[in-house]
Amino acid sequence: MRVFCIFITAIIFIAGPLQAQVQKNSFSIIGYYSGDAKSVDAYPVEKLTHLIYSFCHLRGNKMVVDTYKDTLRLQHLVTLKQRNPSLKIILSIGGWGGCAPCSAVFNKAEGREEFAASVKALNSYFKTDGIDLDWEYPSIEGYPGHQYLPADKHNFTLLLQALRKSLGKTPEISFAAGGFTSFLQSSVEWNTIAPLVNKVNLMSYDLTNGYSTTSGHHTPLYSTPQLKESADNAVQYLDSIGFPLNKLVIGAATYGRIFEIFNNANNGLYQPCKFQRGLSFKSINLDSLQKDGYTYYWDDIAKAPYLYNASKKLLLTYDNGKSIALKTQYAIYKKLNGIMFWELAEDKTTNGLLDMMYTTAHPAN
């Protein structure tokens, strides 16, 4: 009976998006970008609605662009609007390891207000379109050694209020949200912040990560009996507490994770493991990997691909064109705001995952 239900659900959600075409720019396709100024020119930025510059930094209470090189990079990203006039360039702050002072700064009214004023000033100077907060994480442990306090949860709300007051109605405010249960339940006052933000970018990747000791998919669409965390699990939770789905953006990954597996069973899935390294999607060559001993598998419950090398005991978990198409269809069917990914510089410049997102959302274009 369970298999039958899964099959019917899959038919419903796949058929729905094919009938519900989306208008260009009504469905967000958002890429983070931390590459250099010129490499971005090779990518099909016409297929993006948003490009998020990663990252600005905190200096004192202010958001700053650290170096002259970063200034030139950001200025070049803004010129991409000549190719795509509707493209929004968003400033981002934080990232994994990039938000050490966030708790201390944002826990003070003076810090929040000075920060919000600096965001407005930078957007005005660079002619950018808003702010994306990537604080990993309010109120729960994130990067080792970074301060986190119970008060962070409410102070994050106060920070968003200060930003909206400073920026006004037009500039966009978004934040990168952990796609896992402890963040969803403990880091954000969801119903209070809903009117303040345009988007929530769910990081439904790294769900099996560099600290994991049991292997699994790092960016699954659906939960499995062995791995609760997934994009759908996050969406279902937020829907259950009344957060507006039209502000949710699910996440995809243009990189894979390779794990050393200690118990050579179940094709490497859900086994004791140790993270080895990341691998960009543009470097994943299926033919070469198969010649090297990897076997391709598809998990039809998680809707996720993976590769396993039994002789070397190495598992590669990643997104591919098939999983990206299903995630995009899911976002359309659920009437979410869109899909986002980390990051553009790790995708292929042609026939990449961004191309699949766009053609799935706009099959007639």
CATH assignment of the domain containing 56:
3.20.20.80
Domain that holds residue 133: 2-254+320-361
pLDDT of residue 364: 79
163 within domain boundaries? yes
Out of 110, 113, 114, 136, pick the active-site residue: 136
327 within domain boundaries? yes
pLDDT of residue 17: 40
Q: What is the pLDDT along the chain (365 residues), one digit of tens a residue?
A: 333 333 334 433 443 444 456 777 789 999 999 999 999 999 999 999 999 999 999 999 999 998 888 999 999 999 999 999 999 999 999 999 999 999 999 999 999 999 999 999 999 999 999 999 999 999 999 999 999 999 999 999 999 999 999 999 999 999 999 999 999 999 999 999 999 999 999 999 999 999 999 999 999 999 999 999 999 999 999 999 999 999 999 999 999 999 999 999 999 999 999 999 999 999 999 999 999 999 999 999 999 999 999 999 999 999 999 999 999 999 999 999 999 999 999 999 999 999 999 999 999 76
Question: What is the rounded CA–CA span in Å between residue 39 and residue 76?
Answer: 11
Kindly give the pairing relationship between strand 50-59 and strand 62-64.
antiparallel
306 within domain boundaries? no
276 within domain boundaries? no
211 within domain boundaries? yes
Spatial contact of 343 and 31, defined as CB atoms under 8 Å apart: yes
pLDDT of residue 21: 61
Is the four-CA dihedral 300, 253, 326, 42 of positive or negative sign?
Answer: negative
Number of domains in the chain: 1
pLDDT of residue 254: 98
pLDDT of residue 67: 86
68 within domain boundaries? yes
227 within domain boundaries? yes
Active site annotation includes 136 = yes
Map the chain to HEC letters.
CHHHHHHHHHHHHHHHHHHCCCCCCCCEEEEEECCCCCHHHHCCHHHCCEEEEEEEEEECCEEECCCHHHHHHHHHHHHHHHCCCCCEEEEEEECCCCCCCHHHHHCCHHHHHHHHHHHHHHHHHHCCCEEEEECCCCCCCCCCCCCCCCCHHHHHHHHHHHHHHHHCCCCEEEEEEECCHHHHHHCCCHHHHHHHCCEEEEECCCCCCCCCCECCCCCCCCCECCECCCHHHHHHHHHHCCCCHHHEEEEEECEEEEEEECCCCHHHCCCEEEEEEEEEHHHCCHHHHHHCCEEEEEECCCCEEEEEECCCCEEEECCCHHHHHHHHHHHHHCCCCEEEEECHHHCCCCCCHHHHHHHHHCCCC
Spatial contact of 316 and 279, defined as CB atoms under 8 Å apart: yes
pLDDT of residue 14: 43
265 within domain boundaries? no
